[in-house]
Amino acid sequence: MDDQLPVVAIDGPAGSGKSTVARNVARRLGYTFLDTGALYRAVALLAQRRNVSWENGEQLGEMLSQVELSIEPAETGCAVFADGDDVSEELRSEEISRGASKVSRHPQVRQALLDLQRSFVTRGPLVAEGRDMATVVFPQAALKIYLDASVDVRAQRRYQQMLGSGQPADLEEIRRAAQVRDQQDSTRAVAPLACADDATLVDTSDLNIDQVVDKIVALARARITSGR
Ligand code: DC
């Protein structure tokens, strides 16, 4: 128990509400927020810019040994920098979502990002979201949450989000892409998306964001007594 980290680890598939929930939980608790998906997205973007294939783990690992990636909490989530250049604006396209899912399969990529993610604990209590926060990156997290929702609900959320931001959207297409990404993320050999044995499973299909945030904040306050 003594070696627990003051970390709220939140994992789950795309569209489970993870990002919004994690950001709000961090804000409510006054904890630092870490969006690890942004790092995998940055790797996909850099590879695209440098003509490195998303399929080539070896070359991706080499690329990462030559570039300095960093991530900083920002107003709207996390900002990612590659050799000091802020690449955050370019990380949210469907293409980069696809690339991030592909590059995240490679052990060379996962290994290269591990220390960077873990070093965040030096900033104090943390809310970290991704796919392997509870299982690999912060197995000693004081609170582990696995957020889930049915694929229909997740596709519908993404669809509304895209329409809301004025992007063209096709619900069936989004649903199919979500299924492909789930399949890739949960069947890969290294650090697959999975609910840790000691995680609390929260199905968000019939809950709104505030309900989910309230629940996690209450659990965190009960578990984490790190002087806040
Ligand atoms: O959470 P997101 O949609 O921004 O993540 C993008 C991709 O990165 C996702 O398809 C899987 C991968 N990822 C991962 O493998 N491990 C993490 N901790 C976070 C994201």
pLDDT digits (tens, 9 = 90+) for 160-199: 988 998 989 999 999 999 899 889 889 999 999 999 999 9
Average pLDDT over residues 44-57: 98
**pLDDT of 2:** 54
Q: Is the CB of 129 under 6 A from ligand 1?
A: no
**pLDDT of 165:** 85
CA–centroid distance, residue 38 to ligand 1 (Å): 7
Average pLDDT over residues 112-141: 96
**pLDDT of 3:** 82
CA–centroid distance, residue 227 to ligand 1 (Å): 31
Q: Residue 120, Cβ neighbours under 10 Å: how many? A: 20
Yes or no: say if 183 and 118 are a contact pair by the CB < 8 Å rule: no
Each domain of the chain, given as residue ranges in start order, spans 5-219
- Where helices occur in the chain by DSSP H, the ranges are 18-29, 37-49, 57-66, 94-103, 107-118, 151-164, 171-187, 209-223
Q: Which CATH architecture has domain 5-219?
A: 3-Layer(aba) Sandwich (3.40)
Report CA Rg, the chain.
Answer: 17
Q: How many CA atoms lie within 13 A of 225 on its CB side?
A: 4
pLDDT digits (tens, 9 = 90+) for 86-98: 999 999 888 999 9
- What is the percent of the chain with per-residue pLDDT over 90, rounded to a whole number? 84
d(CA 172, CA 101): 20
Residue-averaged pLDDT of the chain: 93
CA–centroid distance, residue 226 to ligand 1 (Å): 28
The tokens describing 46, both together, are 């850099």
d(CA 31, CA 154): 27
